[in-house]
A and B are shown apart, each in its own frame.
Chain A
Amino acid sequence: MSSPNAHSPRGLFLTTHWSMVCSLQSDPVSAERALAQLCSTYWYPLYAFTRRQGYSAHDAEDLVQGFFARLLEKRDFGALSRDKGKFRSFLLAALKNHLANAWDRSQALKRGGGKEWVSIDSAEAEDRYRNHAPQAPTPLDDFDRQWALTLLDRVLDRLKLEMMEAGKGAQFQSLKFVLTGGQGRSYADAGRDIGMSEGAVKVAVHRLRQRYRDLIRDEVAQTVFSESEVDEELRTLLRALG
């Protein structure tokens, strides 16, 4: 059993993005940067949620951009406080509020000034929305589901990037299956693919899983206040996947 510090090798919980956002008063510049960082990661769940509310692809994109504009430019954090808890919950509450205020497209443009606050690839977004039609029964469940998938994509991207930078791209491709309980290949088979002995594969697998775990906990930690909330958030997301 590893100690708590083992989960945060780089002292992640000292300053997470979300805790930084919440310390807006003391350090507005860092807070804005942190918020922009989070928004650029988790824009798709917002987009999908808006689409599921019945807005067209175009309107959804404008509304989400307008939402970010209001959030970042106007620093309109509304009722934001530490009590609000997780970033995911905050973002959803704020978006619902934003949509409820019946911002039409022109208002969105006016407020947003046509500026792209977060880079949204509208074609990709719509493509993903259409191909992975929401499966959860309610838009709220679906939001959490999309959030989980986005989080996982982000973590795997980070892991893959790290491995590629270390010249282990092929190793990642061959061994990534171990992250989900094996999926039926043996180490020997995997080793043959990348020219490694079974023993070496075992070591590599251990490291890969360890690193993946650090990264996913780190990513989740960026959206909550404290380490103690990481497991809870992971469980919530697991439930959202059904």
Chain B
Amino acid sequence: MSQTHCLECDAPLQSELSEGLCPRCLLKLGLSTQLTSTPIQDAGERRLLAPPLFPFEFGHYRVTRLLGRGGMGAVYEAEDRRNRRRVALKVLGRTLESTEARQRFLREGLLAASINHPHCVYVFGTEEIEDVPVITMELVPGGTLQDLVQKSGPLPVKDAVDRILEVLSGLESAHAVGVLHRDVKPSNCFVDSDGSVKVGDFGLSISTLAQPNLLLTTAGRMIGTPAFSAPEQLRGETVDARGDFYSVGATLYYLLTGKPPFFGDNLVGVLAEVLDKPAPSPRQLRPEIPEGLDRVILRCLSKAADERCRDYAELRRALLPFASSAPIPAPLAKRILAHSVDRALLSVPFFVGGFLGMSETLQRWAWAPTVLTLAYFGFSEWRWGSTLGKRVFDLRVASQSGGTPRLGQTLARAAIFYLADLLRLITSGLGFDLIGWVLTLFGLVYHPLLAISARARNGYATLLDFATGTRVVLDSRQPAPQRPVSELHSDPESAAEQCGPYHLLERIDQGAASELWVGFDARMMRKVWVRKVSHGEPEVADFLRNVSRSGRLRWLQGQRGERNWDAYEHAPGQPLMALLQRPHPWRTVCGWLKDVAEEMAAAEADGSLPQKLGLDRIWITSAGRAKLLDFPAQANRDASSAELTEPQAFLNQIAISALEGRCAKTSEAQVNAPRLPLPIGIRRALVRLTQNTTIPEFVHDLKGALQRAGNLLPWQRALLVLGPTLPALFQLSVGLLAMASPQAESKPLQQWQALVAALRMHEDLEAGRKVMNHSPQPKLESLETYMADRFRKTVQKENSEDRMTMALFTDAADKGRLQQILDRNPYPTQEEVSRAKADLGDALNSWGDPVWLNKPVLDWPAWSKSARWMLSATLLIAVLAALMSRSGLVMRGLGITVVLPDGSPANRWRAAWRATLDWGWWWPALWAFSIEPAWGPLLGGALTLGALGIMLTLALRGQRSLCDRLAGTWIVQG
């Protein structure tokens, strides 16, 4: 039974029935009341090919079915009989009398042919068959996004965003070569067999490099599909990438709701709406669309191009939070650091206020800090998903669906986190002050309590996160672009040789029986590769002719007979073998590995895996992507590589060779993983490769690891150096500060101590007892005069320090005694006070009277002792923590691991040794401090700052800190 499909409606045809005509169309004709409106009536306007039944012959193509109709013609599935490749054949459907149509059609071919990207439909060529212009394109078998929505309804949110991101990357690649699409819509986005989306139909695209082409599309002719076109495009104004962003937004709108943003019965109505009416929110049609995504879509659909995203990166960044790639939970340490930054920021206004002498005002506005804090966190996390502090540490708050949280959620987060402050604010309003102290204590345990539920398995969710249905996650970063690789060049050959339609330009590789040339396709205005092979070389296998994956070289055409050659897409770059003279960064190598592994997984699935695998079959394009070649391309003839057949060992061989910058032996690749420090996740994936893992599993492992792994950022390295230094710096600053300001301020505690001491002395004198250490004995009157002068203001609680002093001063008997003294000596004159002080003499020194202190406060030996104690304690804790967890608490919190040079995790003793160096390097400085008060601090300070400078420089400029170099370790993420 031969079953083909109707050209008109794609319904199946049964040749034996209905005279071989389409039954659907026949029935429709019976229904139709407009006999004159059939397409064939416009024979003058349509130059159509094809007999009524598929398959039919058309030039050297065997056309098998209609794939769809577009504005300019129809697209058919066909097989090129010359090379047995299945292609999509786009045929101009209008008359050839229209020069403009013909020009535009052929221009589409040329423009689209300049783009070679995994998310753009590849154009093989243009030609004219029976006087009909034809574009031959890659066959994308899965229909369009419009078909998908029509068949199964609106897509799940994440699925839709994933697909739009693919569309964006295709458009971006077109934009990179100067092509604007201008007709992005669901029916122009094609779904490949693996589900990925390719942008096609560059029928309206223009070159941004060649402005004169704009003329073709002006002059009153409407270009584009109104429902998906930007207003400025409909008005015939100049369009840039932001015009495509509008269409992308409209397409996403359609994928999510099943409807374009504007639709109607007639064109004029739709045009008017697109030009004037604000786009309706997609959430009205589908409430589960996250608010943030709704905002992104509406921003894309802004009438003014200026209000849309500025560039592809911005739009992608806005969409990424809603894509299916799962957000990575943020480690607690990062959250604490981010929060510290926010707190510091929030305290700035109050600090400045205090500095400017506005403390009175600030006291009246005691509610301001708490309210400002709640508003700051609540609003920024709702509006931007992040606060400034979180932004610094690449964190954001996400709702459980992955989008930005609602205002209620973010306010609840802030309110729960600052519960203690809130309660204090409320209770102070109610007039009972003391509870503030309780709340301060409560606050100390409250925050650690909130974090009690945080586990790696629940994404470090605190009780706060659970209560509000939110999570703090690492902000989706764009995958780091692959490092570009320079293009391999050789001297252009003078011989103007030609292979088929291709002019040979330069030879880039020469083997025993083959030569690889860069050629030029003058018709498509693009470079190609031409591989000249020896006589007898078999033809490229059929399945390779149809392979259209980005990890494989696309075969274009070939010839056998008198001349033997094959043409491939042009892949500027270098063979991997030529790049093995030096080690490459792990991220670059993992990108290559991912490309090769994905290709191998796909090739294993469809049986197109090459028989022979070897390092000489990997090509690195100038964009930094790896391609698996079906022939050897070996720049370095000396380095021979035995051929492997085991894919896992082959991938491992690539990893070792590229990471270590040498040509790894196959025997080595079968057993060993690369020996160098790598992020733990990456290393784990590579180690598993030498064990029993399948290629798809490896791809999965590697993708996950790549998403999580990163190089340590400069701030992380600086923090790692500063962290262990902080105790020392603290001690140093205390010492230096004390030396710089010998007059200490009166502090509540000091005042209280002085008060109590004075009272005891008063007791003794009154009772006639001898006061210790005082000779001659002070007079009772002098003491009373002095006390009345010094403590009257304190008793009257004139300022906050006085209030705190009196809060400490609780003994009722003492209070009574003091009051009596004050009553007996109402207001002593300055002269009386001076006399009293002179009489009291030394006694005052021990009471910390600020006026009488004229020697350094810093008790040097005491300071030195306490510093040694404190620093030794921190060192001990650090070493013990390293012994227990190998990385130490701070590093564990930041997601960092200490490894040995071969990449394996450091053992406990090595970690402890590293911690000793890390936390103990200031011992010499401390020693310097303690030798002599006069110049010791200067030497100590100089040593501390000098060492700190060296360590920071090393940390910021290199990957290894000084103590890592001394301890023979590396720190990596993981």
Chain A bound to chain B:
yes
* Bound: A132/B16 CA distance, A: 9
Give B544 Cβ to nearest chain A Cβ, in Å: 33
Q: Is A188 an interface residue (CB 8 A)?
A: yes
Q: Is A170 an interface residue (CB 8 A)?
A: no
| Interface-side segment among B36-44, B104-112, B880-888 | B36-44
* Bound: A89/B38 CA distance, A: 32
Interface string of B159-186 (1 = CB under 8 A from A): 0000000000000000000000000000
Give B211 Cβ to nearest chain A Cβ, in Å: 37
| Interface-side segment among B26-34, B272-280, B604-612, B847-855 | B26-34
* Bound: A88/B40 CA distance, A: 33
| Pair A184/B38 contact, Cβ less than 8 Å | no
| Pair B31/A234 contact, Cβ less than 8 Å | yes
Nearest neighbor of A175 in chain B, beta-carbon distance: B40
Q: Is B17 an interface residue (CB 8 A)?
A: yes
Q: Is A46 an interface residue (CB 8 A)?
A: no
| Pair A179/B25 contact, Cβ less than 8 Å | yes
Which residues of chain A (30-76) have a CB below 8 Å from chain B?
Answer: none
| Pair A210/B1 contact, Cβ less than 8 Å | no
| Pair A177/B52 contact, Cβ less than 8 Å | yes
Which residues of chain B (1-59) have a CB below 8 Å from chain A?
Answer: 1, 6-9, 11-12, 14, 16-19, 21-36, 38-41, 43, 46-52
Nearest neighbor of A209 in chain B, beta-carbon distance: B35
**Known interface pairs A152-B18, A205-B40, A209-B38. Does A184 touch B7 (Cβ–Cβ under 8 Å)?**
yes
| Pair A180/B21 contact, Cβ less than 8 Å | yes
* Bound: A178/B36 CA distance, A: 12
* Bound: A146/B405 CA distance, A: 56
**Residues of B contacting A202 in the complex (Cβ-Cβ under 8 angstroms):** 41
**Known interface pairs A1-B33, A180-B6. Does A185 touch B50 (Cβ–Cβ under 8 Å)?**
yes
Which residues of chain A (179-196) have a CB below 8 Å from chain B?
Answer: 179-188
| Pair A238/B31 contact, Cβ less than 8 Å | yes
Partner of A182, one of B14, B24, B27, B48: B48
| Pair A237/B27 contact, Cβ less than 8 Å | yes
| Pair B27/A241 contact, Cβ less than 8 Å | yes
**Residues of A contacting B14 in the complex (Cβ-Cβ under 8 angstroms):** 132, 149
**Residues of A contacting B18 in the complex (Cβ-Cβ under 8 angstroms):** 149, 152-153, 156
Nearest neighbor of B21 in chain A, beta-carbon distance: A180
Q: Is A235 an interface residue (CB 8 A)?
A: yes
**Residues of B contacting A135 in the complex (Cβ-Cβ under 8 angstroms):** 12
| Pair A186/B27 contact, Cβ less than 8 Å | no
| Pair A183/B52 contact, Cβ less than 8 Å | yes
| Pair B17/A152 contact, Cβ less than 8 Å | yes
**Known interface pairs A156-B19, A176-B19, A184-B51. Does A213 touch B30 (Cβ–Cβ under 8 Å)?**
yes
**Known interface pairs A153-B17, A213-B30, A220-B30. Does A182 touch B23 (Cβ–Cβ under 8 Å)?**
no
**Residues of B contacting A181 in the complex (Cβ-Cβ under 8 angstroms):** 7-9, 22, 25, 38-40
Q: Is A86 an interface residue (CB 8 A)?
A: no
**Residues of B contacting A234 in the complex (Cβ-Cβ under 8 angstroms):** 27, 30-31
* Bound: A135/B12 CA distance, A: 11
Which residues of chain B (701-737) have a CB below 8 Å from chain A?
Answer: none
Partner of A149, one of B7, B8, B17, B34: B17
* Bound: A178/B26 CA distance, A: 10
* Bound: A242/B10 CA distance, A: 11
* Bound: A186/B131 CA distance, A: 14
| Pair B43/A213 contact, Cβ less than 8 Å | no
| Pair A216/B29 contact, Cβ less than 8 Å | yes
| Pair A206/B35 contact, Cβ less than 8 Å | yes
* Bound: A241/B28 CA distance, A: 11
| Pair A186/B47 contact, Cβ less than 8 Å | yes
CB-based A-B contact count at 8 angstroms: 125
Interface string of A213-235 (1 = CB under 8 A from B): 10011001000000000010011
| Pair A185/B48 contact, Cβ less than 8 Å | yes
Interface residue SS majority, chain B: loop
**Residues of A contacting B31 in the complex (Cβ-Cβ under 8 angstroms):** 231, 234-235, 238
**Residues of B contacting A184 in the complex (Cβ-Cβ under 8 angstroms):** 7, 48-52
* Bound: A217/B28 CA distance, A: 11
**Residues of B contacting A183 in the complex (Cβ-Cβ under 8 angstroms):** 6-8, 21, 50-52
**Residues of B contacting A238 in the complex (Cβ-Cβ under 8 angstroms):** 24, 27-28, 31
* Bound: A238/B46 CA distance, A: 27
* Bound: A210/B1 CA distance, A: 32
| Pair B8/A180 contact, Cβ less than 8 Å | yes
* Bound: A177/B52 CA distance, A: 6
**Residues of A contacting B36 in the complex (Cβ-Cβ under 8 angstroms):** 206
Nearest neighbor of B35 in chain A, beta-carbon distance: A209
* Bound: A152/B30 CA distance, A: 10
**Residues of B contacting A148 in the complex (Cβ-Cβ under 8 angstroms):** 23, 27
Q: Is A17 an interface residue (CB 8 A)?
A: no
Give A130 Cβ to nearest chain B Cβ, in Å: 9
* Bound: A152/B29 CA distance, A: 11
Q: Is A25 an interface residue (CB 8 A)?
A: no
Give A184 Cβ to nearest chain B Cβ, in Å: 4
* Bound: A131/B1 CA distance, A: 6
Q: Is A103 an interface residue (CB 8 A)?
A: no
**Known interface pairs A184-B7, A213-B35. Does A132 touch B27 (Cβ–Cβ under 8 Å)?**
no
* Bound: A188/B36 CA distance, A: 18
* Bound: A186/B130 CA distance, A: 14
Partner of B38, one of A182, A185, A220, A237: A182
| Pair B38/A178 contact, Cβ less than 8 Å | yes
**Known interface pairs A179-B25, A231-B31. Does A186 touch B43 (Cβ–Cβ under 8 Å)?**
yes
Q: Is A77 an interface residue (CB 8 A)?
A: no
* Bound: A242/B27 CA distance, A: 12
Nearest neighbor of A219 in chain B, beta-carbon distance: B30
Give B44 Cβ to nearest chain A Cβ, in Å: 9
| Pair B11/A242 contact, Cβ less than 8 Å | yes
**Residues of B contacting A187 in the complex (Cβ-Cβ under 8 angstroms):** 40, 43
* Bound: A242/B12 CA distance, A: 10
Partner of B1, one of A132, A149, A213, A217: A132
**Known interface pairs A131-B16, A132-B14. Does A179 touch B8 (Cβ–Cβ under 8 Å)?**
no
* Bound: A155/B658 CA distance, A: 73
Q: Is A141 an interface residue (CB 8 A)?
A: no
| Pair B29/A212 contact, Cβ less than 8 Å | yes
| Pair B23/A179 contact, Cβ less than 8 Å | no
* Bound: A155/B27 CA distance, A: 11
Give A227 Cβ to nearest chain B Cβ, in Å: 13
| Pair A186/B19 contact, Cβ less than 8 Å | no
Top-3 shortest CB links A-B: A182-B40, A180-B25, A184-B50
30 A-B contact pairs sorted by A residue (CB < 8 Å): A135-B12, A149-B17, A152-B17, A152-B27, A156-B19, A176-B19, A177-B21, A177-B52, A178-B38, A178-B40, A179-B26, A180-B8, A180-B26, A180-B29, A181-B9, A181-B25, A182-B38, A185-B52, A186-B43, A186-B46, A187-B40, A188-B43, A209-B29, A210-B35, A213-B29, A216-B29, A217-B30, A220-B30, A241-B23, A242-B11
13 A-B pairs besides A149-B23, A178-B40, A183-B6 with CB distance below 8 A are: A1-B33, A152-B18, A176-B19, A180-B8, A180-B26, A181-B22, A182-B46, A183-B21, A184-B51, A185-B52, A188-B43, A213-B29, A220-B30
